[in-house]
Structure 1
Amino acid sequence: MAQGHRVDTEAPGIALPAWRRLVDGLREAVAIVDEDDVIAVLNPAATTLHPALRPGTPLTTPARRQALGDGWTACYLDTPAGWDRAFLDEALNRLASATDRADTLKAVVELALAHLADQCAVIVPAPRGRVEWWYGAKGTTEVVRARTTRQSAGLVTGLLDVLDGAVPHAVFGRESTPDLPVDFGEPGHAHAVPLVKGGTSLGALVVVRRVPGGPFTAAEIDAIRRYGDHAARALEAAIRHGEQSRVVDVLRADLLPKPLPDVPGTLLATAYHPAARRAEVGGDFYDVHLREDGSATFVLGDVCGNGLEAAVHSGRVRRSLHTLLLVEQRPAHLLYLLNAALVAAGSKLFTTLVVGTLVQADDGGLHLTLASGGHPPPMLLHAGGTVEEVVARGGIVGVLTDVRFQETTVTVKPGETLLLYSDGITEARAESNREELFGEERLQAVLAECTGQRADATIDTVRRAVFDWLGPSEHDDITLLAVQAVPSG
């Protein structure tokens, strides 16, 4: 150790450990040296920017100096060429905001071209023993994607070792660069580092400096390595996000309503607007099940609550109904069986719903049999413009063992429409007065205006009236199902 080196001794007024605490939080690289210019303290920024410096060794790096007293001096170190701390801050911010894998890979290349190199490539594993290249060069506006075999990547000596995370870095001389299996521009000096996160190699980062720029300095190589750490974290997060998104998409697809079937003699139309718009699913649901004889069972329901928990439960209810329809088609009996199944499964959320069967009549109308489990009664729009509530008594489904359901029958003449709806319609709150609800009477008045309209136009009229009432305000799940006997003529 050099003469005069004094670690953690005290200077008048402030002890050396206190100076350490003061400089540790500085973004600028700072070293504290003694009267012999031997380093006593290095803050984290100095350790990052100047990895060759060590406490107990003489300071040889250019610095701006400030005397601290008693022989101690604070040295504000120059930033090495090629090592831009602001760049890593920018990289961290930009990469942290990227959640898509392709966007992340493009950003890694673009940031490297802007601050580190003349050319850059990120090489990542691809299916069937191939590797995927994302690469670009200064002066171009596009990051190009290509695929090659691992054997082609192996033409560059040491690259596969970096790609597999077997070595911490590799330097490619002028003679190796032209062997890159893509059009990687003019030959030059290349440096590669693995992209490793959690002990798993995700790929490799290759940066190239064109001749006559000269080889990368030690500080620049350190910057590349640290940038690679940022890139690996961002890529791992993007991959994980992508996997989670794919799982969510698969689950969501099972929860979304299925397309409406073509039912003989019947026009069907729906509107479906979950409260959790980003999730695209909610507690409301509808289904229409067509049988081989041309008859059908239809259902519209509402699980207590909204969001993903309600959506998952609505999926459970829909699957249960679909299974029960194999052995029972009578609406009230279906509700008894559904209630028993949900209670036995330990359901903690109640459901309201209307179940109906339809059979085409000889005159072109529809014979409907309905049962309700605590749901708002459907509304029947007659040809003359009057609106009638179709009431079927019944309790909520899924939480009580002792519950009763009744059936009611109704005939829908050609051109008439039965409207099923969730309480998100009638309980929609006015934009101008959040205490005022849309209500049944307003719904009946809007429905009366739809006289003579086809089913899809009726749904659109009611939907627009409700959203005009709501304005931009939040709302509960909103669902509509129109069952219309095909108009004569």
Structure 2
Amino acid sequence: MQKNHELQHDPARIKSERLAEDNHGYVPGTSNGGSSNNGTSAEARYRALFESAGDAILIVDREGLCIDANPRATELVGYERQELLSMPILDLVAAAPGWADEEFRRFIDRERWTGEMELRHKDGSLVQVDMSATRVDIGSGPAIYLAAIRDLSDRKRLIEQGAELVRAKAEAQAQAEAARQRVRFVSDVSELLAVSLDYPATLVRLAELVVREIADLCVIDLVQESVTLKRVAAVHASSAKQPLADQLGDYAPRPGSSDPVARAFATGEAQVFSHQSAGSLRAITQDEGHLRIAREIGVQSFLSVPLIARGRTLGVISLISTNPDIRYGESDVRLAEEIARRAAVRIDNARLYEERDHTAKVLQRSLLPPSLPPIPHVELAARYLPVGEGNEVGGDFYDVFDCGDGNWAAAVGDVCGKGPEAAAVMGLARHTLRAVARFERKPSALLRELNRALLEQSVEERFCTVCHLRLRPSRDHLRVTLCSAGHPLPLLLRRDGRLSSVGETGQLLGVFPEVSLVDTVVDMEPGDTLLIYTDGATEQRRDPVAGEKRLRDAFAASLGRSAEATAARVEKALRAARGSSPQRDDVALLVIRAAEPGPGPGPSDS
């Protein structure tokens, strides 16, 4: 009795009976009606297809009540089948109720509906679906409506993933292109910095390059006397605003101020400033005039990076943006730091070169006479042409000095090598010659004393060639006694145009204990000219003979001219022959001319 009572009040059974009545016999779980034979093969095939369909299928009546659902449908929306059978289909639609009602009425009228929508899962999440619904007639009873639903979540996810991949690829390509641009820019900076050691001019060109690529304004400040900064470059990308940039030169950063440049110099770290308000801009300017310039320039973002080399801060390079949409960030800091590093190394090298060049020039001047002494009835002129830019002491020298008793000494020498070692040998040679000349008159004997002094100093692999001359001038005659120790023989140009070498070549000094040296006496008449030179004057890499001919021709062309004009003509010829080719050796020239009686020296060069 209890069992029959429960069956009479089973809700599912009552609902099934009502559905059968409402739909003229269609009961969920059958193909056409409750009165059909459920064991037929057609019904079994239908049920198998319905249950195994890959798409979700909902069957609803004209009122929108769900009367059947396959497993895929229950999986899609999260409701059990029994829950769906008591639910209006519109409760599953996530759209606004008004829209869902209107679309359902349009579907009932048109008997077909296709489109995309969102269904609300039982857990509250939304499911994007593609729905195709159509009317199905069953016998003479009311029609039912079948909705085939396909989950678009996977497709949407794939589309989104594809879009994300496209965005990621575009971003990667943009980053790669930006990286290439940065590498190219850094390469351009390196190439620019390598061009010249004239770093003040190079820094201006660096600022010009920076404003073409990554900034609207570039300012470079260098340290002066270890504590203060001097503005050496201020370049704006707009020529119209360059006058404003020029005015920034009057506002060098003050130590200890809040200026980003001063802070970068003091801390040794990059400083980034972004213009937030009038007060923030005022905080980094020195006075009203400075503030006015900053406002007219339109400063928006400011990046200052110290120039550091060998642990010393040499200055600061600053990049300024005037675009409100461009604010300097971490990648900009890294790029600016790389530029600053390369610039700092170049500045440091240039300063070291300047110091070395200054030292070399001071030392070279100390090893050459500051001026040639006046000798009665004799004209003198000299030239010294160092290799390169003179940043290393050369090995060539000349000297003229008084020996007393109306005698004068002259010497031209060439020491092997360059640098401080060559300078030491030059100093020894000059001082020895001057000291010995006081008591030794013969040039050959004097050079033997120099050879002994060089060997006693044990200067390893340092030898020299020297041509030493003793001059005894008179009003109508100049007697020259000369000796060449491994040195090129002097050229004698007689006043009648005859040109010849004079003397005999002896052995070089500083190698052998005993040297073979010969004195030669030359009597020069007024107007005769003697040229003593080092081997750099005849240097010709492929044709030494041509180099000597060039020197002879230039000397011969100076016939009748003063000693100074002769030296100038020879120097001009040597420089012209060299052209743009680098000079391989130093050149020292000494011109000795027997003065002609009269009010002054011979004619000057024209």
TM-fit CA distance, 1:355: 0.8
Equivalent of residue 594 in structure 2, options 481, 485, 489: 485
Q: Distance in 2 between the 1:482 and 1:159 partners?
A: 57
Secondary structure at 1:89 match in 2: helix
- Asked whether the 8 Å contact 1:352–1:396 carries over to 2, the reply is yes
- Asked whether the 8 Å contact 2:409–2:470 carries over to 1, the reply is yes
Q: Distance in 2 between the 1:349 and 1:216 partners?
A: 62
Residue 261 of structure 1 aligns to which amino acid in structure 2? Answer: L
Residue 597 of structure 2 aligns to which amino acid in structure 1? Answer: S
Q: Distance in 1 between the 2:574 and 2:230 partners?
A: 50
Q: Distance in 2 between the 1:464 and 1:166 partners?
A: 50
1:426-483 CA-partner distances (Å, limit 9, x unpaired):
6757x8xx4855668x977876665533334444666677788889888765544221
Residue 101 of structure 1 aligns to which amino acid in structure 2? Answer: Y
Range with bigger deviation, 128-137 or 447-456:
447-456
2:259 is the counterpart of 1:146: no
Q: Distance in 1 between the 2:528 and 2:350 partners?
A: 49
Residue 176 of structure 1 aligns to which amino acid in structure 2? Answer: S
Match of 1:352 in 2: 465
Equivalent of residue 161 in structure 1, options 263, 286, 296: 263
1:288-341 CA-partner distances (Å, limit 9, x unpaired):
23568875321122345xxxx346565334312332245321333431232122
In 2 relative to 1, CA 252–206 (structure 1 residues): closer, same or farther, beyond 3 Å?
A: closer
- Higher RCO by CA contacts (8 Å cutoff, separation 6 or greater): 1
1:393-424 CA-partner distances (Å, limit 9, x unpaired):
64211111222444344332222222323345
The TM-score, its normalising length taken from structure 1, stands at 0.68
Which structure is higher in helix share?
2
Q: Distance in 2 between the 1:439 and 1:153 partners?
A: 61
1:211-255 CA-partner distances (Å, limit 9, x unpaired):
7x156164xx42144223322322232222222233134214533
1:244-275 CA-partner distances (Å, limit 9, x unpaired):
2331342145336555414222112345556x
- Asked whether the 8 Å contact 2:468–2:484 carries over to 1, the reply is yes
Match of 1:26 in 2: none
Q: Distance in 2 between the 1:379 and 1:157 partners?
A: 67
In 2 relative to 1, CA 201–481 (structure 1 residues): closer, same or farther, beyond 3 Å?
A: closer
Match of 2:481 in 1: 369
Equivalent of residue 215 in structure 2, options 103, 117, 121: 117
Residue 322 of structure 1 aligns to which amino acid in structure 2? Answer: R
2:285 is the counterpart of 1:180: yes
- Report how many aligned residue pairs link the two structures: 410
Residue 336 of structure 1 aligns to which amino acid in structure 2? Answer: R
2:181 is the counterpart of 1:86: yes
2:324 is the counterpart of 1:216: no
In 2 relative to 1, CA 109–425 (structure 1 residues): closer, same or farther, beyond 3 Å?
A: closer
For residues 49-60 of structure 1, the aligned pairs below 5 Å read none
Range with bigger deviation, 82-91 or 97-106:
82-91
Match of 2:201 in 1: 103
Q: Distance in 1 between the 2:519 and 2:251 partners?
A: 66
- Asked whether the 8 Å contact 1:459–1:482 carries over to 2, the reply is yes
- Asked whether the 8 Å contact 1:428–1:476 carries over to 2, the reply is no
The TM-score, its normalising length taken from structure 2, stands at 0.56
Q: Distance in 2 between the 1:225 and 1:94 partners?
A: 15
Equivalent of residue 263 in structure 1, options 370, 374, 377: 374
What RMSD, in angstroms, separates the aligned Cα atoms of the two structures?
4.3
In 2 relative to 1, CA 336–382 (structure 1 residues): closer, same or farther, beyond 3 Å?
A: same
Aligned residues with identical type, % of pairs: 24
Residue 121 of structure 1 aligns to which amino acid in structure 2? Answer: V
Match of 1:318 in 2: 426
In 2 relative to 1, CA 229–165 (structure 1 residues): closer, same or farther, beyond 3 Å?
A: farther
Equivalent of residue 230 in structure 1, options 331, 334, 339: 339
- Asked whether the 8 Å contact 2:357–2:390 carries over to 1, the reply is no
Q: Distance in 2 between the 1:462 and 1:251 partners?
A: 25
Secondary structure at 1:397 match in 2: coil
- Asked whether the 8 Å contact 2:399–2:410 carries over to 1, the reply is yes
Equivalent of residue 230 in structure 2, options 132, 136, 149: 132
In 2 relative to 1, CA 292–102 (structure 1 residues): closer, same or farther, beyond 3 Å?
A: farther
Residue 315 of structure 2 aligns to which amino acid in structure 1? Answer: G
Q: Distance in 1 between the 2:557 and 2:262 partners?
A: 71
Range with bigger deviation, 326-335 or 191-200:
191-200
- Asked whether the 8 Å contact 2:396–2:588 carries over to 1, the reply is yes
Secondary structure at 1:203 match in 2: strand
Q: Distance in 1 between the 2:536 and 2:591 partners?
A: 16
Q: Which runs of 5+ in 2 are unaligned?
A: 1-159, 599-606
Match of 2:305 in 1: 194
2:247 is the counterpart of 1:247: no
TM-fit CA distance, 1:365: 2.8
In 2 relative to 1, CA 238–424 (structure 1 residues): closer, same or farther, beyond 3 Å?
A: closer
- Asked whether the 8 Å contact 2:211–2:218 carries over to 1, the reply is yes
TM-fit CA distance, 1:84: 7.1
Match of 1:410 in 2: 522
2:273 is the counterpart of 1:171: yes
Residue 146 of structure 1 aligns to which amino acid in structure 2? Answer: G
For residues 462-473 of structure 1, the aligned pairs below 5 Å read none
- Asked whether the 8 Å contact 1:381–1:418 carries over to 2, the reply is yes
TM-fit CA distance, 1:360: 2.6
Match of 2:398 in 1: 286
Match of 2:562 in 1: 454
- Asked whether the 8 Å contact 1:125–1:203 carries over to 2, the reply is yes
Secondary structure at 1:263 match in 2: coil
